[in-house]
Amino acid sequence: MIGRVAYLSLHSCPLQQPGSGDAGGMNVYLLELGRAMAASGVDVVVFTRRSNETTPEVVEVTQGFRVVHVKAGPKHSLPISRLPSLVGEFAEAALAWINQSDEQYDIIHSHYWLSGWAGVLLKEKLNLPLANSFHTLGRVKDLTRRPDQAPEGTIRTLTEEEVIARSDCVVASTPYEFEDLMEHYAADPARLCTSPPGIRHDVFAPGDKEAARLWTGLSGGPIVLFAGRIQPLKGLDIAIDAISLVANKSVQLVAIGGPSGSAGPAEMTRLEEQAEKLGVADRVHFIPPVPRDRLAVFYQAADAVIMPSRSESFGLVAAEAQSCGVPVIAAAVGGLPYIIEDGTSGLLVSGHEPADYANALDRVLDDPFFAAELSAGAVAHSERFSWDVTVSRMLELYEGISSSPV
């Protein structure tokens, strides 16, 4: 029986505000998985790099769920490009904390390729089984990156290969990610398993649209919501182009999120200039990241959510929006076809042509009956994603590799 799990998240703390810096869906995943695991009776410790001088070493999130900030490099934020050189130090710091605490762990579960690298090191030191979740894959991102963006680089892809080979189980969020691991990394299917994230249905639920608009301060024409970090990967540039092409010229695009990575500020400037050039600056609103409960109200205020992502291993925003009864117009990439039932809970768009997203938005915004059907379908479809189900599946996987590690 699994009693205690060590989660590794070197590059991003699950307590950080999602939507800015390097904090995104993975942060939400770890936070909610930790809570749900603890509620099921499993002791959870998340090890992350200390990136703030004032952050306590240990934060107890809930009973049985702690986040431990270990020292690896300077105590301030660093770009991901600087973190590979700190993997060894991070692993040693986590190992020292485990040894000093004298706590017994049953499994290590690392998240992202950097933490996977650290996970391999800890697996060998502690003689424990290792599960790894990548959340994004370097080679898959390279296939659809914007032409002006640099490739992920060989350090990442070679590390991903090594982590896949040396993990007892690689956890894919969807069957599509499962296929990507085999196609692009020649992963052994015997080392792969699938476990989708869940949704907090008590937080993300349908609400009164007019009340939500009053609360958020949004008014005017139909609202299309984008939620995510400001980076080329998320395709906000495509969404702005699409808004300029929709038939209804009162449609507003509300983009909730902050600049991500060292190129984030330049990308924000680029997007603001794009909106000006297209003559839609008065209809494109940039809002800083908001807490999860407030984000739910923004979903409730929206007529549609747009996700023209160039790559997306799962797409938690799509799942949350649907749980709030909001139709999602999204790229048919990565795990999004698993999250969205095309024509029932939202619309999937092949490719990244802005005109195709504009046409999809027109179908939803100009037809109240179709929009209502999608809204009802979205709520029904979202019921398949539950943190209780995720925990049950994850514990099953943990038990499997603990009893017979590869």
Q: CA-CA distance, 185 to 187, in Å (whole number)?
A: 5
Residue among 81, 85, 15 at smallest CA distance from 47: 15
Q: CA-CA distance, 199 to 187, in Å (whole number)?
A: 29
**One domain, residues 48 and 194:** yes
pLDDT tens per residue across span 389-400: 999 999 999 999
Q: CA-CA distance, 39 to 48, in Å (whole number)?
A: 21
Assess whether pLDDT exceeds 80 at residue 242.
yes
How many helices and strands in the chain, by DSSP H and E? 15, 14
pLDDT tens per residue across span 212-221: 999 999 888 9
Q: What is the pLDDT of residue 322?
A: 98
| Residue 1: burial class (beta carbons within 10 Å; 0-12, 13-18, 19+) | exposed
**One domain, residues 108 and 183:** yes
Q: CA-CA distance, 114 to 107, in Å (whole number)?
A: 18
Mean pLDDT in residue range 30-42: 97
Mean pLDDT in residue range 257-264: 83
Mean pLDDT in residue range 310-324: 94
pTM, full prediction? 0.93
Lowest mean pLDDT among 16-30, 31-45, 128-142, 291-305: 16-30
Share of the chain above pLDDT 90, in %: 87
**One domain, residues 130 and 225:** no
**One domain, residues 179 and 261:** no
**One domain, residues 34 and 150:** yes
Does residue 226 fall inside a structural domain? Answer: yes
Q: What is the pLDDT of residue 404?
A: 64
**One domain, residues 73 and 12:** yes
Torsion of CA 43, 44, 50, 51, to 10 degrees: -140
**One domain, residues 79 and 190:** yes
**One domain, residues 237 and 104:** no
**One domain, residues 119 and 39:** yes
**One domain, residues 182 and 263:** no
Does residue 34 fall inside a structural domain? Answer: yes
DSSP category for residue 262: T
Full residue range of the structural domain in which residue 308 is found: 209-382
Hey, how many other C-beta atoms are within 10 angstroms of the C-beta on 272?
A: 14
Contact 173, 258 (CB under 8 A): no
Q: Which DSSP string corresponds to 173-236?
A: SSHHHHHHHHHHH---GGGEEE------TTTS----HHHHHHHHT--SS-EEEEES-BSGGG-H
pLDDT tens per residue across span 343-385: 999 999 999 999 999 999 999 999 999 999 999 999 999 999 9
- Reduce the DSSP state of residue 270 to 3 states and report it: helix
Does residue 219 fall inside a structural domain? Answer: yes
Does residue 203 fall inside a structural domain? Answer: no
CATH of the domain at 245: 3.40.50.2000
Residue among 214, 204, 189 at smallest CA distance from 383: 204
Q: What is the number of structural domains in the chain?
A: 2
**One domain, residues 39 and 160:** yes
Instruction: Kindly report the length of the chain.
Output: 406
Side-chain half-sphere of 314: how many Cα atoms within 13 Å? 23
CA diameter of the chain = 64
**One domain, residues 249 and 101:** no
Q: What is the pLDDT of residue 394?
A: 96
